[in-house]
Amino acid sequence: MNKQEIYNYLKEQNIWHEVTEHKAVFNMEELAEVDIPYPEADAKNLFVRDDKKRNYYLITVKGDKKVDLKEFRKKNNTRPLRFASENDLMDILGLIPGAVTPLGILNDEERKVQVFLDREFLEGRKLIGVHPNENTATVWLKTEDLLDIIKEHGNPVQVLEL
């Protein structure tokens, strides 16, 4: 699904969302230069794989958090982790670097990616801001709705303290 297909999907599913169109951003520093309505709800996404290329993980945390992959590995009993390649990102999620998003799960036809979402997104306003499969916009969703989208698609998802 591309950006317009994501917008259509959200509308067809009657899922509340807001869209902030912006210049292409490739990292959190570039996003900080953009005026967004809910900066506290913005997500950072890491697409990683184990050392055998058998398991793929999408880790979604608040934009200002750092993820220690060694610590994540210990807590979640995975093999050693590395960032997935650009080819894996495109082949599995249909995304380019800088556009990684949980909505890319809708392109994961084999349902091979496990999603880990930071529990903090279920606090306060319970909103999350993610790219709509392109890095030229941010879609604001209720966190529970995003979790439902992932579950309905069939990918495993866990909410954790990250």
CATH of the domain at 125: 3.90.960.10
Whether the pTM exceeds 0.85: the reply is yes
What is the model's pLDDT at position 64? 86
Q: Which domain holds residue 109?
A: 3-160
Distances (CA, A) of 98 to 1, 14, 101: 16, 27, 9
What is the model's pLDDT at position 16? 97
Judge contact between 109 and 124, C-beta under 8 A. Answer: no
What is the model's pLDDT at position 31? 77
Contacts of 37 (CB under 8 A, 6+ apart): 18, 20, 140
What is the model's pLDDT at position 28? 74
What is the model's pLDDT at position 32? 78
> Exposed, middle or buried by CB within 10 Å (0-12, 13-18, 19+), for 96?
middle
Show the low-confidence residues of the chain (pLDDT under 70): none
Structural domains of the chain, count: 1
Q: Radius of gyration over alpha carbons of the chain, in Å?
A: 15
